[in-house]
Amino acid sequence: SKDIRKLDTDVDKMRIRRKDSEDLKVKENVFDETTLKALYDLARKGVIESLGGSISTGKEANVFLAEGKDKNVALKIYRISSSTFNSMDEYISGDPRFSNIRHKKKDIIYAWTKKEYRNLMRARECGIATPRPIDTHKNILAMEFIGEGDKPYPLLKEVKINEQSAQMIFDTIIHYLEILYNEAKLVHGDLSEYNILLNPSTLEPYLIDMGQSVTLEHPSANDFLKRDIRNLARHFKKYGIQPDEEELLRIITEK
Ligand code: ADP
Ligand code: MN
């Protein structure tokens, strides 16, 4: 439609790179009309000035590099039409009886995006190293880019470290979990070597991906924490670190 064409021009004005066709394919998938509009709003607000390449394509979200005023920004874009819903969408769109189902689905995604923003904010305010959340708009979370130049820091999973460094990193993460629990009153809920970035020079860990993090009142908070601890213990075992998981749970929760 005409609207889409106008948005396309707007996005062009944002100097979206089109050199990488693979990249473009990802973008076509992600950038439905709502997302294009939301991106444009963020550009108009000055949160981003141009869009860079794709950093990650996950189950529910894509992460892109973007340029902010004088710094890189990471954009986590939750997909509005994802997997299972995609095939239904064909039948639902255009049928007025389903218009509020469609709205509900969007509302849930927007709420989820805001939740991740707030969780990151809460964790950071308590001194935990996470990306600083910059803005949230519809299905897009803009946050500090954690990396060097245009290259994101590697995942904990990807780095080769010695046993001594591993112990240091492990201790820092456990310390963060203590703060997260006792001060931010949150449980990460999806902690593993896949959701921790590592500054390769200082070996400082950053906790990321906090959309699913829950407050302590959540009925499954303690089970999530146990699982987070189990994942960590499993990963660090190969460095000769063999923590007593029960004891870790006590250390974290009985402050
Ligand atoms: P998902 O829900 O898809 O797992 P994540 O929040 O874990 O989403 O992000 C996916 C990937 O994107 C991460 O593994 C990391 O490589 C990259 N990433 C996420 N946030 C940032 C950030 N703030 N800075 C740099 N890279 C990031
Ligand atoms: Mn993740």
Task: Name which residue sits closest to atom 23 of ligand 1, judged by CA.
Answer: 145
**How many CB atoms sit inside 10 A of residue 21's CB?**
7
**Residues 159, 142 within the same domain:** no
Count how many domains the chain has.
Answer: 2
Q: Phi/psi at 40 (nearest 5 deg)? A: -65, -40
Bridge partners, residue 231, by sequence? none
Helix (H) or strand (E) run with residue 177 in it? helix 163-182
**Residues 102, 220 within the same domain:** no
The full length of the chain comes to: 255
Q: Which residues surround ligand 2, an ion (CB under 5 A)?
A: 195, 209
Catalytic residue among 23, 41, 89, 190: 190
Instruction: Provide the domain limits for residue 180.
Output: 153-253
Please identify, among 87, 119, 148, the residue that sits at the C-terminal boundary of a domain. Answer: 148
Ligand 1, from 135, 146, 208, 212: best to mutate by most atoms within 8 Å of Cβ? 208
Mean pLDDT to the nearest integer, 187-192: 98
Catalytic residue among 12, 150, 209, 244: 209
pLDDT band at 49 (very low <50, low <70, confident <90, very high): very high
pLDDT band at 18 (very low <50, low <70, confident <90, very high): very low
**Residues 103, 27 within the same domain:** yes
CB of residue 61 inside a 6 A radius of ligand 1: yes
Our answer to whether residue 171 is catalytic in this structure is no
| ipTM at complex level | 0.99
Please identify, among 83, 115, 148, the residue that sits at the C-terminal boundary of a domain. Answer: 148
**How many CB atoms sit inside 10 A of residue 220's CB?**
12
**Residues 211, 245 within the same domain:** yes
Ligand 1 mean position to 131 CA, how many Å?
10
**Residues 158, 102 within the same domain:** no
**Residues 157, 239 within the same domain:** yes
**Residues 103, 17 within the same domain:** yes
pLDDT in tens, 93-148: 667 777 777 778 899 999 999 999 999 999 999 999 999 999 999 999 999 999 99
pLDDT at 105: 86
pLDDT in tens, 55-105: 999 999 999 999 999 999 999 999 987 644 445 555 666 677 777 777 788
Identify the CATH number of the domain in which residue 173 sits. Answer: 1.10.510.10
**Residues 9, 100 within the same domain:** yes
